[in-house]
Amino acid sequence: MSNSATREVARRVFAREFNDATYTFKESDDELAPRYALLPTGKRANRVFFVGTLTETEDVGQDSEYWQGRIVDPDGGTFFTYAGQYQPDAASMLRELEAPEYVAVVGKPRTFEADDGEVNVSVRPESITVVDESTRNYWVVETAERTLDRVEQFENGGEYAQLAREEYDLPVENYRRVAVEALESLDTEQAESTAP
Amino acid sequence: MTETDLHTEAVEIHDQFADQLDVTVDEVSERLDTLVNEYKVPLSEARRSVTNTYLDEAGMDRDDVAGGDQHVSITDIDTPEQWVDVTAKVVELRNPDSDAIAQAGTLGDETGTIAFVSWSKSELPRVEEDAVYRLGNVVTDEYEGQFSVKLNSTTTIEQVDRELEVSNDDAEITGALVDIQSGSGLIKRCPEEDCTRVLQNGRCAEHGEGDGEFDLRIKGVIDDGTTVQDVIFDREMTESLTGISLEKAQEMAMDALDTSVVAEEMNERLLGQYYHVTGPNFNRYVLADEVTEPEQPDHEAMLIKARSI
Ligand SMILES: [Zn+2]
């Protein structure tokens, strides 16, 4: 595949790994340079794509509308997405959708440091669309594959694997297990739906 | 026919079967000699006959040995004036533009495609479209970096009874549609002849202000998690993907007094969906000419892999 000149790829990552990606950085001092979240499996992410179950929406804004959506993936991790006046399409989707619903989200990682010093990772959506279960299942297998690729390459180092070792104390084995659990959940679901 | 010629042939045939059969060069030579000198069979036919005998004995397929050194894949043809054998499908025949040419067109194999001509003066049997042939002793040619093969009076043409999946240069991508870019949906194109530019605010960059003709297209981005690819879906593709015809799109725009409602509706229907797209490359784009829903990946196999790491 030839690359679109400057567009950042949308990483596939399960929520539990995404929420651990608290360290962010830029490659240059330029104000407009893209900001990346460092995935604990050793890749940088400026954009993510995920599919999960929207379980709850809430307007958490004070002066103006600011919608929070909780989107859960099959291993139980939750993506927190926030859309306000600068993401009008995504905000109106969150306003109108009735949970539960399978949704696909393209968005940018954002971090926020709470008063207690804990760093929360969330997604600022570029788009939110309603999809079906087969799209969700496709995403789970695809994301497991990409996650396992990163886990396997972690040992061979690379710039961002090295950075992850320095910044985090998070064994990549955790994320292999997340992938296993996500894949197992597809088994269970399919067994249930075919049970007499 | 000299003794030396026969011996050379015998060595070549022997080499092809040395691993499979317990046969000596002398035995091969003897068979050839009988055919050529007793039965007055042409050497090429004798070679064929003897080779087939040993193929049968070894339980091998002609393709297992065919060609030896000079049998090449089409993609490997990169030098002019080489004498080679190819096994290829006639992908296309075209009308020759000169009486000197009996047939012309395109050959293809699993690795690529190449142009060919067959000269009238060679008086070769004609080949048929979609049939697969083993072509012995064709000569390669080059013109402005493009290679071709020429069939000639020494060329042997043998129809082969097998299917051949011809490779084309189309890109093939599978991923999620993560963005639909501006300039998508209901657009207007310049009505000037031979100009298909998309009007920006009612203006053609070349011909200025114009009424324009409505069209549909999508400039999308397909992303598989490791790479991104810009894809253009033309009107036909856009209509079949979205279920929105050009007529319907114009109605929608008229009702809303705004063409952007069409792109918004397309966003809602297509973003976040997975597609398998094939089509030719054009600049940084792939021009989609076939779009299908990708097969569900095998989660059982992935689970086995996940547990084994
Ligand atoms: Zn024009």
Which pairs from A172-177 meet CB under 8 Å and 24+ separation?
A: A172/A40, A172/A41, A172/A42, A174/A16, A174/A17, A174/A40, A175/A14, A175/A16, A175/A17, A175/A40, A175/A41, A175/A147, A175/A150, A175/A151, A176/A147, A176/A148, A176/A151, A176/B306, A176/B309
Say yes or no to pLDDT of B69 above 80: no
* Residue B219 maps to a domain: yes
Q: What is the pLDDT of residue B109?
A: 86
Mean pLDDT for B96-109 is 88
For residues B98 and B75, state if they share a domain: yes
pLDDT tens profile A5-54: 589 999 999 999 999 999 999 999 998 899 999 999 999 999 999 999 99
| pLDDT, tens only, B16-63 | 777 778 888 999 999 888 888 887 777 777 787 788 788 788 776 655
What's the whole-model pTM score? 0.69
More confident residue, B209 or A69: A69
Residue A115 domain-assigned? yes
Question: Which residues in B lie closer than 8 A to residue A5 (C-beta atoms)?
Answer: 284
Same domain, B149 and B98: yes
- Interface size between A and B, measured as CB pairs under 8 A: 116
Across B75-89, B180-194, B254-268, the highest mean pLDDT is recorded for: B254-268
Does the beta-carbon distance from A7 to B228 stay under 8 Å? yes
Q: Say whether both B179 and B121 belong to one domain.
A: no
Q: What pLDDT, on the 0 to 100 scale, is given for residue A191?
A: 65
B253 found inside a domain: yes
Tell me the C-alpha distance between B88 and B135, whole Å: 8
How many domains would you assign to chain A?
1
- Residue A196 in any domain: the answer is no
How many structural domains comprise chain B? 3
Least confident of A113-117, A129-133, B98-102, B192-196: B192-196
Tell me if chain A has a CB within 8 Å of the CB of B298: yes
Interface contact B172, partner A, CB < 8 A:
no
Is A192 inside any structural domain?
no
Query: Is B210 part of any domain?
Result: yes
- Position B252, amino acid: M
Residue B309 lies in a domain: no
User: Do residues B175 and B251 both lie within one domain?
Assistant: yes
Residues 253-282, chain B, touching A (beta carbon < 8 A): 264, 267-268, 271-274, 281
Pure H helices in B34-101: 43-58, 62-65
In a domain, B302, yes or no: no
Q: Which two tokens stand for residue B87?
A: 């096994």
ipTM higher than 0.85?
Answer: yes
Tell me whether residues B267 and A129 touch, CB distance under 8 A: yes
Mean pLDDT of chain B: 87
Interchain CB distance below 8 Å, A49 and B303: no
B10 inside domain: yes
Q: Note whether residue B305 is domain-resident.
A: no
Task: State the nearest Cα–Cα gap between B287 and chain A, in angstroms.
Answer: 13
In a domain, B307, yes or no: no
CATH code at B286? 2.40.50.140
> Quick one: angle between helices B246-256 and B260-270, nearest 10?
120
Average pLDDT over residues B109-119: 87
Domain of B25? 3-64
For the CA atoms of B68, B70, B71, B76, what is the dihedral angle to 10 degrees?
A: 130
CATH, residue A132: 2.40.50.140
Residue ranges with CB less than 5 Å from ion ligand 1: B 190, 192, 195, 197, 204, 206-207
Q: Is the pLDDT of residue A95 over 90?
A: yes
- Chain A residues with CB inside 8 Å of B274's CB? 135, 138
Mind listing the pLDDT tens digit for each residue in A44-80? Answer: 999 999 999 999 999 999 999 999 999 999 888 999 9
